[in-house]
A = this chain, B = another copy of it.
Amino acid sequence: MSPSSARITAVDTHDIRFPTSRELDGSDAMNPDPDYSAAYVVLRTDAADGAEGHGFVFTIGRGNEVQVAAIDALREQVLGRSVDELCGDPGSLSRDLTGDSQLRWLGPEKGVMHMAIGAVVNAVWDLAAKRAGKPLWRLLADADPAWLVGQVDFRYITDALTPEEALALLRRGREGAVGRAATLRARGYPAYATSPGWLGYGDEKLTRLAVEAVAAGFRQIKLKVGADLADDMRRCRAARAAVGPDIRIAIDANQRWNVAEAITWTRALAEFRPYWIEEPTSPDDILGHAAIREAVAPVKVATGEHTQNRIVFKQLLQAGSLDILQLDATRVGGVNENLAVLLLAARFGVPVCPHAGGVGLCELVQHLAMFDFVALSGTTDDRVIEYVDHLHGHFTEPVVIRDGHYTAPTAPGFSATMRPESVAEFTYPGGAFWAAELARPKTDDRKGRGA
């Protein structure tokens, strides 16, 4: 593409909420009634091709407006930037935003402000991939290893991974990449199914959905646990009976337990041969996860969807706290920080099984996992991307699942673009859906929902 003088001309934000709490989709031991939401950002440009960059933070309802305010706080630092410069080096924006001395106080590198930075940085990668005419996974897989290393912020992680080590990992990852890209296009990337196991579903629905998932080609399902041990035992027994001995069943406590409870509870469920226990305790408890992992083996420990940044991931790996690293596309500071996380995982030989579901997380994480397969770890052994059959129709390039696998995206970009009709209808509180909903007389049942 020839050089252009195009600039970022607008940073538009949208508070989008879907009323998912109505069906108890997404219900778990910590999140009984989420309204899956997105603080959505569109970078507009004056480029001749009209290209835009789209990104978002996934939230679960209340507070989505705070997340939007945090993205708004970044606007002045993004407006007017050169599109060529941004797309040629997204890391420069990532460093400027993460390093802003005043905004940094609000984290640093965690929570609302850091996720806002992640949304804007991801939108830049979406723009870069669109302008390169490639899906993001290919942009990353085709990139020069030295350039990729330059996209990573090594501050605070050099005791576990140096730039030289990262370069060696990426160079090794390039060996055989062409063949793996062909394999990926032919077979896709393995997925597992979370939809059967929401805590709010009855046993009959759980069993039926589990059988359907296996019939659809999934080799792993996941059940939410942690509210009541007797219920969990009954549900695990039903699921194991439904899927047979060869399908992996992961269980997910969504941070419900103290360390000692996590050990007792997981051991009590061990007879059903869970493959991993996910988020057994606080995502901040590095040492707690290490103690749990030692106590519950051979059940594996998985965590990461709430891990705030590369510095905590580094320590989870250093301390031997996890068997499975579950990165999230919108929790950390965007693609640049997730490159650091993928490199750390590769350095420690820990498989990455991304967190997905929510709003658009499947759409985003598939690119990161596919890049990892093609050009970094080089394998899908013991690796699966979470899949939830949920809200994909709101995206212009929804994920495509075939025989329990994510199909490799071919459209240019990061698959982050939401359909304009969906944005209009579910904007909170003024979109058509919410305007009608909020005009209805209130009942106790609806109290506080989405507000």
Which residues does A use to contact B, with CB under 8 Å?
30-35, 59-63, 65-67, 69-70, 73, 76, 100-115, 155-159, 255, 258-260, 281-288, 291, 306, 308-309, 311-312, 314-315, 318-319, 448, 451
Contacts and interface: CB of A to CB of B under 8 A. Distances in A.
Nearest to A283: B108
A258 B104 contact: no
B110 A308 contact: yes
A263 to B, nearest CB: 10
Indicate how many identical chains form the complex. Answer: 2
B113 A113 contact: no
Nearest to A255: B108
Nearest to A57: B106
24 contacts: A30-B104, A31-B104, A60-B105, A62-B100, A62-B102, A66-B113, A67-B106, A106-B115, A112-B113, A156-B258, A156-B282, A157-B258, A158-B259, A158-B260, A159-B260, A159-B288, A159-B291, A282-B311, A284-B309, A284-B311, A284-B315, A285-B314, A286-B286, A286-B315
- Chain B CB count within 10 A is highest, among A31, A59, A288, for A288
Contacts of A291: 159
Contacts of A65: 69, 73
A319 B285 CA distance: 12
B73 A66 contact: yes
Given A76-B448, A258-B159, A285-B311, A112 B59 contact: no
A353 B224 CA distance: 42
Given A59-B106, A76-B451, A315-B287, A101 B67 contact: no
A78 to B, nearest CB: 13
